[in-house]
Copies of this chain bind each other. A is one copy, B any other.
């Protein structure tokens, strides 16, 4: 009986939902074009791929902003004010879910209608090329090759912010794509707080006699067979609760995850014979993203209720699995004996404690993806600060960015990159137009610990389960609390509903303090 109710009241929303579903299919097809570009596309067909993606970008934008969706949405929402029409509500008696569906649909529509079609086409023509050139520039360690594309991307993103409109800072418009409802200034405050705690802890560690102790695993001449690494990675994904009927993993220059539908999710990893830790942690990280996408409610596919909440919440999942679980002692209590079956020779004389230490050693490096989970947030804060500048301050010149980058690394982490490939060219995000994404990683770290603490409160100490390889209990909890909700709640509402709190750096800092105090025997 109860099940019938939403079905019934959805009735008149159905034509709108059908259109949104088609829009979602087009986005999924675009995602496949991009996935293919990064994985299997022949090397020199980037020109035509850019044209194909630009065409899809235009079709998506035309459909999103076209008459059909406009008039269907207009039946339910006053397009001038953005409020739900009382008369439509009277007829439909919208559920809370449906109201949220309408609000979020309107929000996305409003953003899309702010962007001229030519701009969208240009951008979707630019980005695949820019990413392709970035790859080449990184390989050749040549910033000048990439600079004109970075210039174009920055200009486009500033324009985009202007088209959409912004409050206080243009950068706020870009942040809003990835983490709606939290502003640049709010993030700055939270990050300052985190920075203080992080720097304090780093200094403590640096003062410890244990700092710089031999990392036994890194001293081995690693030669971890790629196929075995691959198989072990799949085993871990399976343990996390991933269903390979709906997910695949491939290789790409920069690991990423993408979703075409909750039944077709794809992740990639980068494999390296000499750095098995990096490829495994990236598999677990992308696996966390994948769990979210696989766990979204298929019955709402195409609508905001079938979409992930925000990139911060997304990263909370990937970072939780990567760090709290994947770099955790209890996880390795279970997986170490399995790993040893794959690499008996390679791990000869290496204890589970050696491995645990290798995964958690403080690594002060210019390369974000090689960083430990403590200093990692400083890498993000550097990028956040540079992003604020390049979007808000039009006097910044692209040619000056490498120096600015290096300065900040010197100041915050005390390191210098040997080359641009390990410096400003290390990340694909800017090449892909994803300016405003980076904060999501650290927001994700913060949210992740808030969720994890709550899960522990509700389910008891999870470490006992992890020691037996039982991760699926947590996955189930996260699916129920987060994945199945789609965009039903705002980020602050979701945090409050699940944890009873606002965003709060305390759980993360406490966790890091406990972990590193034990590892480095502080105090």
Give A residues with C-beta under 8 Å from B.
Answer: 22, 25-26, 28-29, 32-33, 36, 40-45, 47-49, 51-52, 55-56, 59, 244-248, 250, 260-261, 263-266
Q: What are 6 A-B pairs with beta-carbon distances under 8 A? A: A26-B55, A29-B29, A40-B250, A41-B264, A42-B263, A43-B244
Chain B residue nearest in CB terms to A36: B32
B245 touches A42 (CB 8 A): yes
Provide the residues of chain B in CB contact with A48, threshold 8 Å.
Answer: 25, 28, 260-261, 263-264
A45 touches B260 (CB 8 A): yes
A59 CB to closest chain B CB, in angstroms? 7
Report the separation of the CA atoms of residues A22 and B32 in the bound assembly, to the nearest whole angstrom. 18
Provide the residues of chain B in CB contact with A264, threshold 8 Å.
Answer: 41-42, 45, 48-49
Provide the residues of chain B in CB contact with A43, threshold 8 Å.
Answer: 244-245
B250 touches A42 (CB 8 A): no
Report the separation of the CA atoms of residues A248 and B37 in the bound assembly, to the nearest whole angstrom. 13
Provide the residues of chain B in CB contact with A244, threshold 8 Å.
Answer: 42-43
Provide the residues of chain B in CB contact with A45, threshold 8 Å.
Answer: 246, 260-261, 263-264
Report the separation of the CA atoms of residues A250 and B36 in the bound assembly, to the nearest whole angstrom. 13
Report the separation of the CA atoms of residues A264 and B51 in the bound assembly, to the nearest whole angstrom. 13
Chain B residue nearest in CB terms to A45: B264
Known: A25-B55, A48-B260, A263-B48. A247 touches B42 (CB 8 A): yes
Report the separation of the CA atoms of residues A254 and B156 in the bound assembly, to the nearest whole angstrom. 44
Residue in contact with A248 in the complex, picked from B26, B40, B49, B265, CB distance below 8 Å? B40
Report the separation of the CA atoms of residues A33 and B265 in the bound assembly, to the nearest whole angstrom. 15
Provide the residues of chain B in CB contact with A33, threshold 8 Å.
Answer: 29, 32
A294 CB to closest chain B CB, in angstroms? 10
Provide the residues of chain B in CB contact with A246, threshold 8 Å.
Answer: 42, 44-45
Chain B residue nearest in CB terms to A49: B264
A401 CB to closest chain B CB, in angstroms? 32
Report the separation of the CA atoms of residues A242 and B195 in the bound assembly, to the nearest whole angstrom. 55
Top 7 A-B pairs ranked by shortest CB distance? A45-B264, A44-B245, A45-B263, A48-B261, A43-B245, A25-B52, A25-B55
Chain B residue nearest in CB terms to A264: B45
Report the separation of the CA atoms of residues A40 and B265 in the bound assembly, to the nearest whole angstrom. 11
Report the separation of the CA atoms of residues A90 and B374 in the bound assembly, to the nearest whole angstrom. 75
Report the separation of the CA atoms of residues A246 and B41 in the bound assembly, to the nearest whole angstrom. 9
Report the separation of the CA atoms of residues A235 and B523 in the bound assembly, to the nearest whole angstrom. 63
A267 CB to closest chain B CB, in angstroms? 11
Chain B residue nearest in CB terms to A44: B245
Given A22-B55, A42-B248, 11 extra CB contacts under 8 A: A25-B48, A26-B55, A28-B52, A29-B29, A29-B33, A36-B36, A40-B248, A42-B244, A42-B266, A43-B244, A45-B263
Most buried by B among A28, A42, A55, A245: A42
Provide the residues of chain B in CB contact with A29, threshold 8 Å.
Answer: 29, 33, 52, 55-56
